[in-house]
C-alpha cells in the first residue's frame, strides 16, 4: 500500500468513527468535500459515509465566493469547477441553508493549530460559507448550546495530514475566521482548543 492509499484508509476509518460517534450510530448528513491534488484523499471517506447510510453534501463554487451544495452518491458525476481548481458534483444545487440540517462538516485545510485556527487554500469560499452558516444559525436560533461565539454552529473537523497539525498560536486568526473543533488525519481525530 502506498502512502496515499494508507492516508485514505486512515482518514476513512477515523472519519467514519467520528461520524458514528456524532450520530450515535444513527443516520446523519455530512457536508464534506472532494480532496484533489496534494490534499488528503477524501473520496473513500465519502463513499464509506454513504455506505454507512449517511447523506453527503458536496460544495459547488458559485460567483462572489458563494458555495452551493449538492447531495452526492458514488454514482454522481463530477465536472471541473468554473471558479476554483476543484472537481464539483453534478446535481441539484441547494443554498447554504441546507447545511443547517447537517450533523457536522468536514473542512478542507492546508494546516490547523491546537487553537482551532485553520488555513485554507486562500480562495475565501469556506470563510464566507462558515460566516454565512453562523449568521443563518443565529437568525434561526439554532445555535448549539455551549459553542464558542467564534465557532460554527455544527461540529467541524479539518481534514489534514498528521504533519499539518501545528502548535497552538501557529496560525494567525483574522476577525472573519471561525475555529474548528478537531483535525481528522490519517493517524486519527485530534481534538483542538
Q: What is the mean pLDDT of residues 44-56?
A: 98
- What is residue 123's predicted lDDT score, i.e. its pLDDT? 79
Longest dimension (CA), the chain: 48
What dihedral do alpha carbons 164, 123, 18, 7 form, nearest 10°?
-50
Long-range CB pairs of 43-47, under 8 A, 24+ apart, other chains included: 43/8, 44/8, 44/9, 44/11, 44/12, 45/8, 45/11, 45/12, 45/15, 45/16, 45/106, 46/72, 46/74, 47/74
HEC per residue, 18-31: HHHHHHCCCCCEEE
Say if residues 126 and 150 touch (Cβ distance below 8 Å): no
Is the pLDDT at 116 greater than 50? The verdict is yes
Tally of CB atoms within 10 A around 93: 15
- What's the pLDDT tens digit per position in 1-13? 699 999 999 999 9
How many structural domains are present in the chain?
1
pTM of the model: 0.92
Q: Which domain holds residue 165?
A: 3-191
* C-alpha cell read off for 145: 448550546
pLDDT tens, residue by residue, 125-162? 998 999 899 888 887 665 444 444 445 689 999 999 99
Chain-centroid distance, C-alpha 100: 14
Provide the H-helix boundaries in 88-141: 125-140
**Higher pLDDT pick, 148 / 123:** 123
Give per-residue pLDDT as tens, 62-74.
999 999 999 999 9
Q: Per-residue pLDDT averaged across 28-40, rounded?
A: 94
Residue 172's pLDDT is: 92
Structure confidence at residue 145 (pLDDT): 44
As a whole number, mean pLDDT of residues 44-69 equals 97
Question: What kind and span of H or E run contains 8?
Answer: helix 3-23
pLDDT at 29 over 60: yes
Q: What is the CATH number of the domain that holds 130?
A: 3.40.50.10420
Q: Would you say the C-alpha torsion 74, 77, 82, 86 has a positive or negative sign?
A: positive
> What local confidence, expressed as pLDDT, does residue 188 receive?
98
Amino acid at each position: 500500500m502506498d502512502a496515499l492509499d494508507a492516508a485514505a484508509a486512515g482518514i476513512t476509518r477515523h472519519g467514519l468513527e467520528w461520524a458514528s460517534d456524532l450520530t450515535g450510530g444513527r443516520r446523519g448528513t455530512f457536508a464534506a468535500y472532494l480532496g484533489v491534488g496534494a490534499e488528503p484523499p477524501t473520496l473513500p471517506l465519502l463513499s464509506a459515509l454513504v455506505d454507512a447510510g449517511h447523506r453527503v453534501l458536496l460544495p459547488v463554487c458559485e460567483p462572489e465566493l458563494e458555495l452551493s451544495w449538492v447531495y452526492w452518491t458514488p454514482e454522481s458525476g463530477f465536472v471541473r469547477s468554473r471558479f476554483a481548481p476543484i472537481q464539483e458534483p453534478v446535481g441539484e444545487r441547494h443554498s447554504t441553508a441546507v447545511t443547517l440540517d447537517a450533523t457536522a462538516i468536514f473542512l478542507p485545510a492546508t494546516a490547523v493549530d491546537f487553537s482551532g485556527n485553520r488555513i485554507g487554500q486562500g480562495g475565501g469560499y469556506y470563510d464566507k460559507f462558515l460566516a454565512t452558516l453562523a449568521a443563518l444559525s443565529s437568525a434561526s436560533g439554532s445555535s448549539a448550546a455551549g459553542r464558542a461565539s467564534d465557532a460554527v454552529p455544527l461540529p467541524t473537523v479539518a481534514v489534514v495530514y498528521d504533519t499539518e497539525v501545528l502548535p497552538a498560536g501557529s496560525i494567525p486568526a483574522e476577525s472573519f475566521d471561525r475555529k474548528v473543533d478537531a483535525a481528522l488525519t490519517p493517524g486519527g481525530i485530534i481534538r483542538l482548543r
